[in-house]
């Protein structure tokens, strides 16, 4: 890790003490942790493997006023080529437990949505089939109310447990964060938005309330949705999923196609030939390539159709 203003040996030891020494990496390339396969190094990359370790890591970062970025599966991120300053806390394999109690499925924030859907299907519980192919973690899916094929997280969520960062105290210090449970109707879930994002909460776990179903029908539906994705989306190339939110009254992919941008490339970034709503990493693309291509698409669609395209992909870190 290069020297910077944020870290010293004591802070690094503190993070290693709460997250585990093997779970703290320095100058970790973020291209290894995003589905775009793009991104410069994180100063410090922490992968807690228990909820207790995660909460202690978050408390340490907030008390020490360290810049903090939370990532899940990295499926909706464009990380800048200069990387991310401060601490990146990744909710991954160590935080992926899934438990089932009757019709309730509880999953830790790092569990993949596809794994939760598969566990539900094995228990003959229906409701998650449309969102089973979303390549994100439970935490990220709750954060943005992820959805597909007319369904979204709001349809199946019952409640979430979140970490609420402690407020700054009068003396300028911070205490420990609070763990709070919110019912789904308290989350203000809308199209790609939530109270979780608005208030800066960090998801620890989510509980889904599903419905008993027929195992064969559940499997058939999941197979159907998977086939539709494979037929229409460029799953064989690195991407961050749908690049733009759906503009009211339109489909982003069709606007981009009608603007004549199918296959248009900037450097190694390209509008997918298969689905124009996706930008793919066709040939060692940089974040700068993707960023420029996004701006070009926005300008072209605005000029031709007077429609504003808002990126669904989140920009994180420092860009050149």
Query: Is residue 162 situated within a structural domain?
Result: yes
Structure confidence by residue, pLDDT tens digits, 136-166: 999 999 999 999 999 999 999 999 999 998 7
Query: Is residue 3 situated within a structural domain?
Result: no
Q: What's the gap between Cα 85 and its chain centre?
A: 19
What's the pLDDT score for residue 103?
98
What's the pLDDT score for residue 119?
97
Q: Do residues 221 and 238 both lie within one domain?
A: no
Structure confidence by residue, pLDDT tens digits, 7-25: 778 889 999 999 999 999 9
Q: Do residues 142 and 180 both lie within one domain?
A: yes
Structure confidence by residue, pLDDT tens digits, 112-125: 999 999 999 999 99
Query: Is residue 155 situated within a structural domain?
Result: yes
CA separation for the pair 226, 132 (Å, rounded): 8
Global confidence as pTM: 0.92
Domain that residue 280 falls in = 234-316
Q: Do residues 136 and 61 both lie within one domain?
A: no
Tally of CB atoms within 10 A around 319: 16
Query: Is residue 2 situated within a structural domain?
Result: no
Q: Do residues 127 and 219 both lie within one domain?
A: yes
Is the pLDDT confidence value at 207 over 60? yes
Q: Do residues 72 and 193 both lie within one domain?
A: no
Give the CATH number for residue 278: 3.90.78.10
Q: Do residues 240 and 268 both lie within one domain?
A: yes
What's the pLDDT score for residue 4?
57
Q: Do residues 49 and 116 both lie within one domain?
A: no
Is the pLDDT confidence value at 216 over 50? yes
> Domains in the chain: how many in total?
3
Q: Do residues 104 and 218 both lie within one domain?
A: yes
pLDDT-derived band at 320 (thresholds 50, 70, 90) equals confident
Q: DSSP characters for 177-231?
A: -EEEEEEGGGS--BTTB-HHHHTT-EEEEEEEE-EE--HHHHHHHHHHHHHHHHH
Query: Is residue 283 situated within a structural domain?
Result: yes
Q: Do residues 61 and 145 both lie within one domain?
A: no
Considering the chain, what is the average pLDDT of its residues? 93
What's the pLDDT score for residue 93?
87
What's the pLDDT score for residue 2?
45
Q: Do residues 201 and 247 both lie within one domain?
A: no
Domain endpoint, select from 183, 211, 229: 229
Strands 202-209 and 157-164: antiparallel
Active site residues: 192, 242, 312
What's the pLDDT score for residue 10?
85
3-class secondary structure, 54: helix
What's the pLDDT score for residue 3?
45
Q: Tokens 């993070």 appear where?
A: 15
Is the pLDDT confidence value at 192 over 70? yes
Q: Do residues 108 and 192 both lie within one domain?
A: yes
Is the pLDDT confidence value at 1 over 50? no
pLDDT-derived band at 173 (thresholds 50, 70, 90) equals low
CA-to-CA dists, residue 279 to 86, 91, 132, 191, 272, angstroms: 28, 25, 22, 21, 6
Structure confidence by residue, pLDDT tens digits, 85-117: 999 999 988 999 999 999 999 999 999 999 999
Structure confidence by residue, pLDDT tens digits, 39-57: 999 999 999 999 999 999 9
Q: Do residues 101 and 89 both lie within one domain?
A: no
Domain endpoint, select from 93, 123, 141: 93
Domain endpoint, select from 93, 115, 137: 93
């Amino acid at each position: 890790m290069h020297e910077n203003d944020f870290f010293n040996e004591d802070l690094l030891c503190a993070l290693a003490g709460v997250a585990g020494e093997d779970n703290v990496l320095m100058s970790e390339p973020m291209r290894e942790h995003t589905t775009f396969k793009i991104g410069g190094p994180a100063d410090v990359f922490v992968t807690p493997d228990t909820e207790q370790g995660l909460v202690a890591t978050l408390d340490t970062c907030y008390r020490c006023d360290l810049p903090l970025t939370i990532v899940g599966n990295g499926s909706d991120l464009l990380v800048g080529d200069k990387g991310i300053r401060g601490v990146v806390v990744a909710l991954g394999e160590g935080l992926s437990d899934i438990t089932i109690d009757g019709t309730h499925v509880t999953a830790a924030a790092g569990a993949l949505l596809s794994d939760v859907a598969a566990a539900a299907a094995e228990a003959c519980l229906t409701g998650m089939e449309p969102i089973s192919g979303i390549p994100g973690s439970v935490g990220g899916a709750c954060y943005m109310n992820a959805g597909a094929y007319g369904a979204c997280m709001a349809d199946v969520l019952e409640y979430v447990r979140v970490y609420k960062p402690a407020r700054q105290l009068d003396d300028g210090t911070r205490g420990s964060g609070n763990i709070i449970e919110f019912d789904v109707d308290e989350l203000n879930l809308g199209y790609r938005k939530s109270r979780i994002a608005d208030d800066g909460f960090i998801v620890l776990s989510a509980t889904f309330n599903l419905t008993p179903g027929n195992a064969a029908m559940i499997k058939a539906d999941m197979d159907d949705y998977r086939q539709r994705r494979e037929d229409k989306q460029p799953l064989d190339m690195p991407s961050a999923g749908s690049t733009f939110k759906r503009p009211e009254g339109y489909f982003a992919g069709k606007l981009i196609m009608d603007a004549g941008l199918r296959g248009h490339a900037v450097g190694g970034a390209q509008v997918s030939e298969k689905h124009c709503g996706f930008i793919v990493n066709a040939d060692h693309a940089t974040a700068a390539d993707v960023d420029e291509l996004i701006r070009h698409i926005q300008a072209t669609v605005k000029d031709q159709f007077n429609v504003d395209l808002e990126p669904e992909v989140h920009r994180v870190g420092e860009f050149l």
